């Protein structure tokens, strides 16, 4: 039922800045680079400069990130250290004195990807106040409202420009264009099948009319399933990261049920399991293909990703049960009419009993269903972690629907930054 991601080449990805949180206490300087799954890190620390280059998952998805920071004052390189963790990279730098730094960088210009970590921040008047004060803008640095608006507009235009560049890059690559059009064709087709099938079923006034609901989407479903055969070719040529054997078995399983069992028998087409099997197949693909489209475009949506790795939990078991019911219903007719069977004698001197093959296939079908469910569970665990609930706010629905993720990606919402806390304090 699944294919692996129709991925774009990593060479097309651009180098971006990760979010960096910084704090200080006495002579200690703390930096946290917000990157997950960091690989191939290249880190250089001089007395007054820190450079960072690595691959990982950050605010712009799985990409290559880098930065170069000229520190406010020199640090002691021999006493400084860093550690690559699963969800971030942590730096512990030792300053030459206990002087409190007003900022991290030597330049007064504020970088949007550098944030204050209030959990590790000491200010010059901490000893005189019960709670840490909020950092104040220097008179020379404080931007006017019009400047802030221009800065935000520039960030929005820059983000839109990058997204458009990724989109039009698809049309400059024949392979990406083909994968984009194929996935889009399949998604639009299965959206049509899903909508028309349910509409025809709900509109039917009698049981006899409901039994004809499958006929309303039969040609379209056959066309989409024939087009799905291209997925085997895509995997065989290495255009997508899918196994040829797994993809071939999945496409063959659906094709056998649809073309060899359902279409030749009018009685089966009027059965409820056949209709709901078509609806289930369509529901799976309506969720799956948008994910592949975004991968080809080099984009990622937290909502689409969450649906891709969650909706299979109810839909796959339901699809397996319905496929089993359809095969059980077709087995007596196959045994009686001997369709697709080869009898002796013949010029090849061989025989083939399709009914026996179908019974053996049904036993193997149970093993394959278990293997596929285990594979999908492992993929979901790899994507969301061992505890998906703890990752819900990072991936999921509520931040997506509120638009907070989009604003943070543009740097307009600092979240834990100074601006957000100042606004909360003023509200109180």
Active-site annotation holder among 4, 266, 316, 337: 316
Active-site annotation holder among 65, 265, 291, 323: 323
289 labelled catalytic:
no
Distance CA 416, CA 44 (A): 28
Q: How many CA atoms lie within 13 A of 65 on its CB side?
A: 24
Q: Which two tokens stand for residue 234?
A: 């895509």
Distance CA 123, CA 113 (A): 21
Q: What ranges in 349-417 are assigned the alpha helix state H?
A: 354-384, 392-395, 397-402, 404-410
CA R_g for the chain: 29
- Residue 340 neighbours by CB distance under 10 Å: 16
- Residue 140 neighbours by CB distance under 10 Å: 6
Q: How far is CA 325 from the centre of its chain?
A: 33
Q: Find, among 311, 322, 232, the residue nearest to 278 by Cα.
A: 322
Which residues are 78's β-sheet partners?
none
3-class DSSP state for residue 243? coil
Q: What ranges in 125-206 are assigned the alpha helix state H?
A: 145-172, 174-203
DSSP tag of 389: G
Instruction: Count the helix, strand and coil residues of the chain and give each as a percent rounded to the nearest 5.
Output: 55, 15, 30
For 73-129, the DSSP string reads S-EEEEEEEEEE-SS-EEEEEEESS-PPPS-SBSSSSPPTTEEEEEEEE--TTGGGS
316 labelled catalytic:
yes
Catalytic amino acids? 316, 323
């Amino acid at each position: 039922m699944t294919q692996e991601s129709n991925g774009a080449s990593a060479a097309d990805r651009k180098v971006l800045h990760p979010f960096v949180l910084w704090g200080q206490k006495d002579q200690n300087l703390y930096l946290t680079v917000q990157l997950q799954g960091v690989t191939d890190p290249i880190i250089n620390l001089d007395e007054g400069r820190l450079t960072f280059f690595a691959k990982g998952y950050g605010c712009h998805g799985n990409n290559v990130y880098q930065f170069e920071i000229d520190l406010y004052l020199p640090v002691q390189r021999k006493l400084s250290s860093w550690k690559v963790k699963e969800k971030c990279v942590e730096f512990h730098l030792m300053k030459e004195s206990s002087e409190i730094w007003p900022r991290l960088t030597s330049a007064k210009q504020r970088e949007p990807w550098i944030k204050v970590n209030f959990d590790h921040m000491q200010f010059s008047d901490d000893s005189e106040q019960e709670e840490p004060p909020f950092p104040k803008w220097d008179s020379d640095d404080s931007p006017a409202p019009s400047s802030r608006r221009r800065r935000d507009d520039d960030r929005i235009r820059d983000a839109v420009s990058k997204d458009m560049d990724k989109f039009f890059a698809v049309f400059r690559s024949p392979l990406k264009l083909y994968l984009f059009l194929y996935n889009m064709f399949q998604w639009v087709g299965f959206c049509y099948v899903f909508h028309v099938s349910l509409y025809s079923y709900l509109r039917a006034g009698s049981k006899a009319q409901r039994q004809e609901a499958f006929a309303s989407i039969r040609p379209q479903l056959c066309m989409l399933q024939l087009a799905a055969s291209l997925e085997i070719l895509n995997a065989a040529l290495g255009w997508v990261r899918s196994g040829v054997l797994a993809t071939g078995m999945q496409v063959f399983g659906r094709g056998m049920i649809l073309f060899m069992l359902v279409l030749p028998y009018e009685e089966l087409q009027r059965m409820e399991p056949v209709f709901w099997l078509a609806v289930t197949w369509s529901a799976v693909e309506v969720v799956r293909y948008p994910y592949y489209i975004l991968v080809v475009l080099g984009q990622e949506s937290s909502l689409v990703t969450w649906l891709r790795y969650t909706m299979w939990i109810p839909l796959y078991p339901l699809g397996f049960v319905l496929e089993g019911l359809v095969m059980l219903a077709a087995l007596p007719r196959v045994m009686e009419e001997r369709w697709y069977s080869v009898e002796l004698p013949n010029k090849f001197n061989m025989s083939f009993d399709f009914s026996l093959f179908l019974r053996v296939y049904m036993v193997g079908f149970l093993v394959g269903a278990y293997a596929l469910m285990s594979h999908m569970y492992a993929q979901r665990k790899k994507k969301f972690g061992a505890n998906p609930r703890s990752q819900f706010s990072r991936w999921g629905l509520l931040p997506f629907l509120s638009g907070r993720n989009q604003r943070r990606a543009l740097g307009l919402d600092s979240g834990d930054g100074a601006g957000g806390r100042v606004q909360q304090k003023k509200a109180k």
